[in-house]
Amino acid sequence: MKHEVKMLARILVLLTASLGAGQEALAHHSFAMFDKSKFITISGTVRKIEWANPHAYLQVQVPGSNGTSTLYAIECSSPNELSRWGWKFNSVKVGDQISVGIYPLRNGQPGGLLFSVTLANGTVLKGN
Amino acid sequence: MKRYGLRNLHLRGGIVATLILAASSGIAAPVDFSGVWERYPPLHNPALTPEAIFAEGAPMPGAKPRLREPFATQYEALEKKSAAAEESGQPLADAGIRCLPSGVPAMMTAILPLEIVQRRDELLILAEELAEIRRIYINEKMPPAGEIAPSYHGYSVAHWEGATLVIQTQGIREDVRFLDMPHSADMRVTERLRLTAPDMLEEQGTLEDPAVLVAPYRFTFKYKRNSTYKVAEYVCDDNHYDVNGTGSVIFHSEPKR
C-alpha cells in the first residue's frame, strides 16, 4: 500500500509537470542558476526550514556512500504560494525523512529548486 | 399645510446641508475600493511546466515600450545582456534580488495581493510583497516638481471623475524600473482606478515621459476581490543570494547571516 502511494505520488508529480503550459510562474527573481533540463530526486533528513520571503528553503542532509552525507540547500516558492498549495509553516519539520524532486544548481553545488516534497506518509507537497 | 410646509423646509434644509457638508468634506466618495485584491485572471496556477516554473514574474501588462534614442538601443542591449546572463546561469540582479521596493507603478503588478484602505482624503495601497505602501492623497494638488524628493513611490494625488479615481504620480526615482523601462525624473504616471463589477477592480495606467517615450505607454491591470484572505507579513530575509561585482546573482547554499 505504501509503495502504491509513493508510485501514485510520482505519477502525480509527472502529470503535474506535463500540464499547465502557457502559465507564468511567480518567481520573485530569476531561477536561471538552476538547471531546468535536469530533474533529480533525492532523499534525506530535514536539517532546517527557512519559512522566509521571497522564497522559503529546506536544508536536507542526503546520505551518500561510505557513511558520508551532503547537505542540500533547496529553494522553494514563496510562503504565500506554498500556503495556496496546502503547505503550513510546519508541514515539514526538522528531522523528517523526505524525498524531494529538484532542478539542481548548474554550478554543481549541492542545491536545487524544489518541484515537490514527498513526506514519509506519502503526502506530496508542491514546491514550485 | 403650514406644518407640513415647515417640515418640508426642514427636510430640504437638512438635505442641502448634508450635500454641502459632503461636497466640502469629500465624504461622498462614489465608491469604496477598500478590501484585498488579487490579480485577475489569477497569476497563481498549481500545475506548471518546467518552462513556466522558470519564467520570471507576471505577463507583460501592455505592449513593448517605444523608446527614443539612445534609450531604445540601451534597452535592447540590456535585454540581450540579460538573456545571455540567464543562459549562462548567472542572472543579472534586479531590485527584487536586492529586496528593494518595486515602486510605482511596478508595485501594482501585484504578484502577491494588494490591500486597499480608503479614507475620505487618502487611499492607502498596502502590498503584501515587500510590505510596500503607497499613500495617495485625494483632492490634493500636486506640489511643484522642485518640492518632491525623488522616491520609490513618488508623490501621488487623486481626484474623482464620476466613479473613477484618477491618480497622478510624480517624483519617482530614475533608478526605479517598470518592465525594465528607463524613465526621466519628469515621468508622470496616471492611473484610472474603477470597479467594473462589485468585486472587480481595473487599473488603466499611462506613463508620460516625452524625453524617453515616443508615445505614452499604456497598461491595464485587473484585480478580483478576495474577501477571506488576510495579508501576511513579508520581510525580505531570504539570505541565500548575493550580487557580485559585475551585477550577477550568486547563490549561497548557506544563509549569509
Q: How far apart (Å, rounded) are the C-alpha atoms in residues B173 and A91? A: 41
HEC assignment per residue over chain B: CHHHHHHHHHHHHHHHHHHHHHHHHCCCCCCCCCEEEEECCCCCCCCCCHHHHHCECCCCCECCCCECCCHHHHHHHHHHHHHHHHHHCCCECCCCCCCCCCCCCHHHHCCCCEEEEECCCEEEEEECHHHCEEEEEECCCCCCHHHCCCECCCEEEEEEECCEEEEEEECECCCCCECCECCCCCCEEEEEEEEEECCEEEEEEEEECCCCECCCEEEEEEEEECCCCCCCCCCECCCCEEECCCCEEEECCCCCC
Residue in A28, A33, A126 closest to B91 by CB: A33
C-alpha cell read off for B40: 485577475
Question: CATH classification of A40-126 is 2.40.50.140, yes or no?
Answer: yes
Mark yes or no for CB contact B89/A32 under 8 Å: yes
Residue B5 has pLDDT above 80, yes or no: no
Q: Which helix (H) or strand (E) holds A57?
A: strand A57-63
pLDDT of residue B102: 94
Please tell me which of the candidates B88, B97, B235 has its beta carbon nearest to residue A53.
B235
Q: Which helix (H) or strand (E) holds A4?
A: helix A2-18
**Neighbour-count burial for A83-121, b at 16+ CB within 10 Å, e otherwise:** ebeebeeebbeeebebbbbbbbbbeeeebbbbbbbbbee
Helix (H, G, I), strand (E, B) or coil at A71: strand
> What confidence score (pLDDT) does residue A14 get?
37
Per DSSP, A1 falls in state: -
**What is the pLDDT at residue B86?**
85
For residue range B137-151, list pLDDT tens digits in order. Answer: 999 999 999 999 999
What is d(CA A65, CA A43) in angstroms, rounded to the nearest whole number?
13
User: For residue B19, how many other CB atoms are within 10 A of its CB?
Assistant: 11
pLDDT, one tens digit per residue, over B76-128 is: 999 899 889 888 888 888 887 888 999 999 999 999 999 999 999 999 999 99
Optimal mutation site among A14, A26, A72, A89, interface B, most CBs of chain B within 10 A: A26
Weakest-pLDDT range from A103-112, B52-61, B88-97, B211-220: B52-61
- The structural domains of chain A, with segments of one domain joined by +, span 1-30, 40-126
Distance, CA of B168 to CA of B207 (rounded, Å): 10
For residue B182, the one-letter residue type is P
Cβ separation of A55 and B97 shorter than 8 Å?
Answer: no
Residue B194 has pLDDT above 70, yes or no: yes
Mean confidence (pLDDT) of chain B: 86
Residue B171: CB atoms within 10 A of its CB come to 21
Residue of B nearest to A51 (CA): B238
The shortest C-alpha distance from A112 to chain B (Å) reads 9
CB contact under 8 A, B240 and A17: no
> How does pLDDT run along chain A (128 residues), one tens digit per residue?
444 444 444 444 333 333 332 333 455 678 888 998 999 999 999 999 999 999 999 999 999 988 999 999 999 999 998 998 899 999 999 999 999 999 999 989 999 999 999 999 999 998 88
Which of B46, B51, B236 is opposite residue A54, by nearest beta carbon? Answer: B236
Decide if A127 contacts A17 (C-beta within 8 A): no
Query: How many CB pairs (< 8 A) connect A and B?
Result: 141
**Inter-chain CB proximity A128 and B90 less than 8 Å:** no
The reported pLDDT for the residue numbered A9 is 44
Q: What's the confidence (pLDDT) of residue B232?
A: 93
Cβ distance of B254 and A73 shorter than 8 Å: yes
- pLDDT 10s digits, B139-184: 999 999 999 999 999 999 999 999 999 999 999 999 999 988 999 9
CA torsion angle B26 B27 B28 B34 (round to 10): 110
User: Å from A34 to nearest chain B CA?
Assistant: 7
